[in-house]
Amino acid sequence: MLDAWATTTTQPGEAPGSAAAEQHLSAPPLRIVTQPMWVPFAKGHGTRNDFVIFPDFDATLELSPEQVQAICDRRAGIGGDGVLRVVPAAKDADSVQYADAAEWFMDYRNSDGSLAQMCGNGTRVFAHYLVTEGLVEPGLIPIATRGGVKRVWVHPLSSRETGAVGSATTELSMPQLGAATEVQIGGVTLPATAVNVGNPHAVCVVTTPLNQFDLSIPPRYDAAIFPEGVNIELITPPRAADSAPASACETAWTVRMRVHERGSGETYSCGSGAVAAAAVALRTAQVETASHIDPRRLPSGIVSVELPGGQLRVELTESTALLTGAAVIVAKGECLLMGAGC
């Protein structure tokens, strides 16, 4: 029973898109740019979860929520699901505590201008950008986020010599399955499982075709369970994957997914949402096939998550959650940064 209903927010502008996934915090007061100024930017995406990237090596670029909204506007701005500011960890107050463990801080903003803890797809694009700009070498790259230091492996294809298209793997927080809950979409109430991946998710396993749900309208959820909002995933029941797993001890499954992200609306992809979906899919498959279930242990396995923006691979073990997918830089240029409200 839902004690209190709340609705998620939608992004400025039109079309699905986001960033996904990510603790929704109120942006603190910032120094507002009052005069227009040109600043360098890049545009990138991970399975069509797209971001505007601003290098800020001196930690002098301060963005207001209104400026982020204008930048992410798909008609009047560059367009994106969010903004990634690239800043040395030692030079930003939100990341200086991680400076000994990570050289670079990913300052992530949702498209509505709110601050976010972390973004799974964003970490891959961020790390790939560092490599393509020659700031780091391919391989293991620790990245500071508001949700802690995330380890990203940028695969060798992601280099200046081979172009702007590559792939990367991010180690995310182990998903924690929570309480049974409900969400409401278009007047239809669906059972869901609360999942914490360092940010909140509600995952619904549905047999109704995914394209029959209207995610242009913000879903409703139980505010008592999700007081800071929630990312909502709709997934199909897990089925055995077409390809064999990498080793005999692994089980491979496939699900299809759509997602509505807080602070952004429906998006083409959500990295942390894919991890949450994989956790629920593995538990669902376990319930259907196992004679005994230990509720304290999440089953291990590999899940291929098929999203509107492409495919993500999630591998869960007893100690790690690994998210692998594409990372692409599509453009570079200069952006005219206007004052707040412009």
Tally of CB atoms within 10 A around 115: 20
Helix (H, G, I), strand (E, B) or coil at 70: helix
119 catalytic? Reply is: yes
Query: What is the rounded CA–CA span in Å between residue 37 and residue 167?
Result: 33
Cβ distance 44 to 86 under 8 Å? Answer: no
DSSP E strands: which ranges in 26-123? 37-46, 49-55, 82-88, 104-110, 115-116
342 catalytic? Reply is: no
DSSP E strands: which ranges in 58-212? 82-88, 104-110, 115-116, 139-145, 148-154, 165-172, 176-185, 188-196, 200-205
Backbone angles phi and psi of 253, in degrees to 5: -135, 160
Cβ distance 171 to 150 under 8 Å? Answer: yes
Residue 270, C-beta contacts closer than 8 angstroms, at least 6 positions apart: 18, 20, 21, 49, 120, 121, 231, 233, 259, 261, 307
Query: What is the rounded CA–CA span in Å between residue 134 and residue 9?
Result: 37
DSSP β-ladder status, 301-307 and 252-261: parallel
Tally of CB atoms within 10 A around 337: 19
Backbone angles phi and psi of 97, in degrees to 5: -65, -20
The Cα angle at residue 230 between residues 255 and 322, in degrees rounded to 5: 45
Taking alpha carbons only, the member of 124, 167, 116, 125 closest to residue 145 is: 116
Set 72, 204, 249, 270: catalytic member: 270
Residue located via tokens 């692409």: 328
Set 119, 204, 335, 342: catalytic member: 119
Q: Which residues are catalytic?
A: 119, 270
